[in-house]
Amino acid sequence: MDHPDTPVHHRPAVELAAMIAAREISSRELLEHFVSRIESLDPVTNAVVTLDLDRARDAADAADAATVTGSAVGPFHGLPVTVKDALAVEGVRSTGGAVELADHVATADADVVALVRGAGAIPFAKTNVPRWSGDLQTFNEVFGTTNNPWDASRTPGGSSGGPAASVALGFTGFELGTDIGGSIRVPAAYNGIAGHKPSYGLVPCGGYIDRVDYGRTEPDINVHGPLARSVDDLEVLMDVLAAPRPERAIAVTHRMPPARHDRIDDYRIAVWPDHDGCRSSADTVAAVESAGDTLVSLGARVDRNARPALDATEAAALGLWLVAGATSPSLTDDEFAFYTALAASADTPDEIRSAISTFTATPREWFAADVRRAHVREAWREFFGEVDALVCPVIVTPPFAHVQEGNVSTRTLPVDGVERPYTDLLHWTVLIGMAYLPATVVPVATTADGLPVAVQIVGPYMEDRTPMAVARALRTELGPMEFPDAPRAAN
């Protein structure tokens, strides 16, 4: 094994699958180990909200029997995994974090769940999310608040906060996340793990629970992707997840191209740590700069001045408008009325008013915005003709203390002592996501009080292996990721 001194629960998924295949540990033993950790540690974190143990134990026993007879199936044969509660799992309570679906049991797997199940994984539990996955924190009226494993007074991010905490604490082999405004990338960053936001359209997104009548359409910008303990895990998982929507599979196949280069010293990499339109914290800027320094030391051609030919502030505002529109079907009538009134108020900041104006936008206005997005995407295409990847912040500040009053549009948050609109947290994630680009997140530093700080490595559209290759080079140089063996008490 690559990490012989690492506890079994903190080993990457590919190692755990290899151990099961070699009969060094059984699927059933690993499942019981994960369950034991959840029972002893999760009361502090509240990451896992539903267990499906009887069926999982039967599946693990069957997987072990198949291993003995040489009939194992898939790269994750017998690997027990938890699944984000925004993704339907057949026969299991799947709520989307909403009281309306508090007792809902899904009748079919979400597309990505079916894909990893076909690769041998065994779903055994669901993990916590904000209501309809609509926040960068993780709390809801059904299951309460999920805490950050590194500091229980802080958020694990959202919306995949429960999934990311589950990975960090060794409750699962890997996790599946969703990301429309940063919901894979921010939790990966805040929990010190690896995450990959795929190119839009590369992974099928059926079975996403973003409203009561869920799963039949795929929202604009939204993607589903992996959260794991190594970049190798991300790459193998993307091999599994990159697939056409089921109704297109009769005629369509997906093939991710290889990374642009085999050697890191052949890469041209831009580093963009900050900009005047949305200042990042000192810790965040330092982490991005440090990642650039590491890449320089590895021989990559690093350019700290290269930028796409776009106004980042305007593009991010357009992205926020598009994200708001894509998520608007989940609003209740009361929430819709609240936001409509907020948009009409003279006291509402311009950026908030602009973002929520999408709730009443006409089709003509949406299509005009989509054309503006096309110009932004063209700027990115030209940029990636000159460079191979971009290193930039995931989010403007490290994990922050829980703040649950108000909502995404009305909250504020201190960043290096300056009170900022909560929507500033979305700047870097929507800037990248609205253009449909792939991004890999890995931790690269820690704050003075021991909190993880990550970067996102952005690649050209549909060239997902390229940012993963750069992320692997970074993490290989920095060494294996470290994880808390137990949740840390609030500082």
Distance (Å, whole) CA 200 – CA 219: 10
SS3 call for 266: helix
pLDDT, residue 1, reads 44
Q: DSSP letters of 269-315?
A: EEE----TTSPPPHHHHHHHHHHHHHHHHTT-EEESS---SS-HHHH
Strand 418-421, strand 412-415: pairing: antiparallel
C-alpha 280: how far from its chain's center?
20
- Give me the residue spans of the domains in the chain: 8-257
Nearest to 220 by CA among 402, 97, 370: 370
At 66, list the tokens. 């198949």
Residue positions annotated with a catalytic role: 84, 159, 183
Is 170 within 8 Å of 434 (Cβ atoms)? no
Low-confidence stretches of the chain (pLDDT beneath 70): 1-3, 491
pLDDT, residue 250, reads 94
Q: DSSP letters of 52-64?
A: -HHHHHHHHHHHH
C-alpha to C-alpha distances, 44 to 147, 288, 428, 446, nearest whole angstrom: 7, 31, 30, 22
Beta-ladder partners of 80: 122
Dump pLDDT digits (tens) for 106-145.
Answer: 999 999 999 999 999 999 999 999 999 999 999 999 999 9
CATH number belonging to domain 8-257: 3.90.1300.10
Distance (Å, whole) CA 250 – CA 166: 36
Secondary element (H or E) of residue 135: none
Phi, psi (5° rounding) for residue 13? -60, -40
SS3 call for 247: helix
Q: Is the dihedral of CA 384, 387, 388, 392 positive or negative?
A: negative
Tracing tokens 């999408």 back to the chain, one arrives at: 358
**Cβ-proximal residues to 234 (8 Å cutoff; 6+ apart), any chain:** 194, 195, 196, 226, 228, 440, 468, 471
Phi-psi region of 220 (alpha: psi -120 to 50; beta: other; left: phi over 0): beta
Write the burial class of residue 223 (CB in 10 Å: 0-12 exposed, 13-18 middle, 19+ buried): buried
